[in-house]
Copies of this chain bind each other. A is one copy, B any other.
Amino acid sequence: MRIEESIKNYGAKIDELLKELIPPYRKNYLSEPIWHHLQTGGKRVRPALCLITCEALGGNPDEAIHFALAVETMHNMFLIHDDIEDGDTVRRDQPTVWVKYGTANAINAGDYLLACAYKTTLASPISLEKKIRLLQVLTSTYEKTVEGQALDINARAAEDFSVDDYMKMVEMKTGYYLACGMVGGGIVSGISEQVVEKIWTLGKTMGPAFQIRDDLIDLTHGKGRGGVIGSDVKEGKASFLYAYTLQVACAEDRKHLRKIMLKPRDETTDSDIQWALDAYKKYNAIQYAQDYAEDLVKQAYKTIDEIPVENKTVFKEIASFMAQRMS
C-alpha cells in the first residue's frame, strides 16, 4: 500500500535527522537516556504523516521536515514523562527511562526533547508567518495534551467518570496530538485556517477512535507487554470500557470496580482483573465500545468530505491507515 511505503521511507529519513538534532553518545547525561528511549523503536508514523500531508497538498516536504522532527520529539517527550507519571516500568520490552536512569534524569530528558521540538521548528526554512503558525500549532497541541494528561492522571481517583469525561480526556490527550503533524504539513503547503480547523476536527474523532480500539486490544490481545490481558485494569487506567461500565452498572458493581481501579498495581490480583473483564462483558461494554469507535470513524470520513481542498485522497488514506492500526 502506497501510504505504508511512504511512512517507511519518511520514517527512515526522520531517524537519520533525529541523530543530527540529538547526537548520540554525547557525554551530557541527556543523549544517553534519550537514545535509550528512541532506540526502543517506534515507526515515526506521526512525522511521516506530516510530510505525506505536505506533499499531497502541493507543498515541499523539505520545508516541513523540521516540524515533522518537532512532532516526533514532542511525542517522545510525552512518552518519557507519561512512563514516570503512570509508573510504567517497561516499554517495548526495555526498561523505561526513569527505571534505568532515575526519575530526575527522565524528567529532565523529557524537558530537553521539548526544547529540541521548538529549536527545530524555529530552524524551519519557511516564511516568518508560516513559522509562527507552526509554533502556535506546536504550542496548542502541547498545551491540550498536557490538559488531557491531567484528566487522565486523576481519572482513576474521580468519584464519577463517564463516557463524556473519557471523550473530553482523549480528545485533548490524543486528538490534537494525532492531527498536529497533518496540520503542520498542511500549513507549510499553504492551506487556509478553514482547512486547519477541519483537520483538528478530524483529529478529535480519529484520536478517540484509535484510543478506544487500543483499550479494546488490551482485553483481547494485550498491549504488547508480553501479551498480558487486562493491563489497563491492573494499572488503574481509565479506559472507555471502565468509563462506560461505571456509567451504566448498578451501585454495587460500580463500587467494586472503583475499588479495583484504586488498588496499587502490585496489589491488583488476577481475580480482580477477571472480575473487571466479566463486568465489562455483563454490561455489554465491549460491543458498545466497538460501535462507538466505528461511529467515530464514520464521523471522521464525513469530516474529510467537508475539508475544503480538492484532493482529499491523502486524508482518506491516512484515516484508513489509522483506523487499521497505529504504532
Q: Which residues of A contact B (CB under 8 A)?
A: 28-30, 81, 84-86, 102-105, 107-109, 111-112, 114-116, 118-119, 122, 128-129, 131-132, 135-136, 138-140, 142-143, 146-147, 149-151, 153-154
Residues of chain B contacted by A128 (CB below 8 angstroms): 128-129, 132
Given A103-B103, A107-B84, A132-B132, check contact A122 B150 (CB 8 Å): no
Q: A85, B112: Cβ atoms under 8 Å?
A: no
Q: B118, A29: Cβ atoms under 8 Å?
A: no
Q: B143, A112: Cβ atoms under 8 Å?
A: yes
Q: B147, A28: Cβ atoms under 8 Å?
A: yes
Q: Please tell me how many copies of the chain the complex holds.
A: 2
Q: A150, B108: Cβ atoms under 8 Å?
A: yes
Tell me the complex Cα distance, A149–B154, Å: 29
Q: B30, A112: Cβ atoms under 8 Å?
A: no
Q: A146, B29: Cβ atoms under 8 Å?
A: no
Nearest CB in chain B: distance from A138 CB, A: 8
Q: Specify which of B84, B119, B139, B154 is in contact with A103 (CB 8 Å cutoff).
A: B84
Q: Specify which of B111, B122, B143, B147 is in contact with A146 (CB 8 Å cutoff).
A: B111
Tell me the complex Cα distance, A114–B118, Å: 12
Q: Specify which of B122, B132, B149 is in contact with A122 (CB 8 Å cutoff).
A: B132
Nearest CB in chain B: distance from A247 CB, A: 20
Given A103-B103, A128-B132, check contact A118 B118 (CB 8 Å): yes
Nearest to A172 among chain B residues (CB) is: B28
Given A129-B128, A132-B128, A147-B112, check contact A154 B105 (CB 8 Å): yes
Given A81-B107, A115-B142, check contact A136 B122 (CB 8 Å): yes
Nearest CB in chain B: distance from A261 CB, A: 15
Q: A108, B153: Cβ atoms under 8 Å?
A: yes
Tell me the complex Cα distance, A143–B122, Å: 13
Q: B147, A111: Cβ atoms under 8 Å?
A: no
Tell me the complex Cα distance, A146–B118, Å: 14
Nearest CB in chain B: distance from A155 CB, A: 10
Q: B28, A150: Cβ atoms under 8 Å?
A: yes
Nearest to A86 among chain B residues (CB) is: B104
Nearest to A158 among chain B residues (CB) is: B29
Nearest CB in chain B: distance from A191 CB, A: 19
Residues of chain B contacted by A29 (CB below 8 angstroms): 150-151, 153-154
Q: Specify which of B103, B119, B136 is in contact with A143 (CB 8 Å cutoff).
A: B119
Nearest to A118 among chain B residues (CB) is: B139
Residues of chain B contacted by A135 (CB below 8 angstroms): 118, 122, 135
17 interchain pairs, CB-CB under 8 A: A28-B147, A29-B150, A81-B111, A84-B103, A85-B108, A86-B104, A105-B150, A108-B150, A109-B150, A112-B146, A114-B114, A116-B143, A118-B135, A122-B132, A122-B139, A128-B129, A135-B135
Residues of chain B contacted by A112 (CB below 8 angstroms): 143, 146-147, 150
